[in-house]
Each structure stands twice: as C-alpha cells, then as structure tokens.
Structure 1
Amino acid sequence: MAAKRYEIDDHQWEQIKELFPRAKTGRPGKDNRDMFNAILWIARSGAAWRDLPERYGPWKTVYSRFCKWRDDGSLETIFYALNVEIDDENLMIDSTSVKAHQHSAGAKKGL
C-alpha cells in the first residue's frame, strides 16, 4: 500500500498495529489504520474535523475513535513506539543567528 500525504508507511504500521485496543463487543469497527491515518491527517494539516477527506469515512467516527484512544492512553503508547527508531529524514537543524545592534550593549545613553 503506497502511503499518501500525511499517512504512515507499511514499516511504521507493522511497528504499531498490535498496539491498538481490540473491540470487545458489537460489529467490527472501521480499519484501525484508516482511522489512525485520518487522525494524522487532521493533526498534520491543521484542518477542522469536518474538513476530513471522505476517503477516511465520516468525521464523527474518526473523532470518536480519536477521543477513545486519547482517553485510554493508546495514542501516547503508539507515538512512543513510533519514536523508538529515529527518522533522520525529518530532522531539522536551524542555524539562524541574530546579531544585536551596537546600541543594545547596555551603554549609558547620551554619551
């Protein structure tokens, strides 16, 4: 499966697929990978829940799954598992330097 923008790849999915809680009763829910990718899409795009693309399903379903995983600690466990391997591809180093004006050195004014 080719990952789309903002989605996890197959290797990352293999790392976390067993960490999602299992449904105890009722009909089978939507695929956990689709739900997790929808949550990532919202987080990375900064869009409102209602602007979720239709390919992920109803936004209310994704939101309720997000709340469930947030409240039971599943999301925290999953993100810790994904952080075990360092991803140097997205590592950023900022080398910006800011020089202070000569008058900001603290000398007495009016000299």
Structure 2
Amino acid sequence: MNRDRFWLTDAQFARIEPHLPTDTRGKPRVDDRRVISGIVHVLKSGGRWIDAPPDYGPRKTLYNRYVRWAAKGVWVDLFHALASAGGPPAQVLIDSSAVKAHRSASGGKGGSVTRPSAARAAGARPRSTR
C-alpha cells in the first residue's frame, strides 16, 4: 500500500458498514471498503476518476458507485451517521466566498444617489409650486 493513498482503517469501516446498502443484484460487488477508499482518494486529490490508482478496483466501478449512491442518498446517510456519532469535532472548517461586483453595482440606475425616505419627503415642504 502506497503511503500517499487513502485507505479506510478497520475502525472507520466498521463505523460506516452498517449504513451501506445490501440490496445488490447480479454480479458480486467489488469490496466496499476498497471502493469507498478509492472514492475518497479521488475526491481528496481532485483528480479524474480515470486517474484513480488500480489498487482501488475498476475505475468505472468507483464512478458508478459514487453516482448511484448519491442518487440513493447513501452518502447523506453516511455523513449524518458519522456526524451524529457524538463528541465535539477536533477541527472546524470555516469557508468563505468572495464575489466580485462591478464598481457601480451597489446602486440602481444612475449609481448610488442618496434619496430621502418616503416619510421624510411626505412631511417636507413642496419643492415646486404650481
């Protein structure tokens, strides 16, 4: 096993195994632990499915299982089960986004012109006479 590759430990797999689907038909499935390790490796590395190391099993299997389990909600169930396992997290991640806007995007037509509120304008003296 290569050190830069991700593999689920026995304890990690024991925790998620009860939440994996068991309703399979047809050919016997490629080992879940191996495939999940491959999926996590591809997602962590940001690579393409086709570039996954062969140690994880058929690359098409990695992709197909990821997509099928996403459609069935298996990943959400796994995340909820792991998140509710208890205890405060050892690490917390805070993500932020920055959106660039054009310099005149803060105001409507004509830029940012300060206009009096409707209540103030109602009590004010008329500006023009008839």
What is the percentage of aligned positions where both structures have the same residue? 30
Which structure ranks higher in relative contact order (CA pairs < 8 Å, sequence separation ≥ 6)? 1
2:29 matched to 1:26? no
Deviations 1:25-49 (A, max 9, x none): 2121101111111110011111111
In structure 1, give the amino acid aligned to 2:72. Answer: D
Query: Aligned-pair distance for 1:24?
Result: 3.2
Query: Aligned-pair distance for 1:70?
Result: 0.4
Off by >4 Å, runs of 4+ in structure 1: none
For 1:93 and 1:56, locate their aligned partners in 2 and report how far apart those are by CA, in whole Å. 28
- With normalisation by structure 1, the TM-score equals 0.69
What is the match of residue 44 of structure 1? 44
Kindly indicate whether the alpha-carbon contact (under 8 Å) linking 2:7 and 2:34 is maintained by their aligned counterparts in 1: no
- With normalisation by structure 2, the TM-score equals 0.60
Q: What is the aligned length?
A: 90
What is the match of residue 73 of structure 2? 73
Aligned residues: CA RMSD: 2.3
2:39 matched to 1:61? no
For 1:57 and 1:31, locate their aligned partners in 2 and report how far apart those are by CA, in whole Å. 8
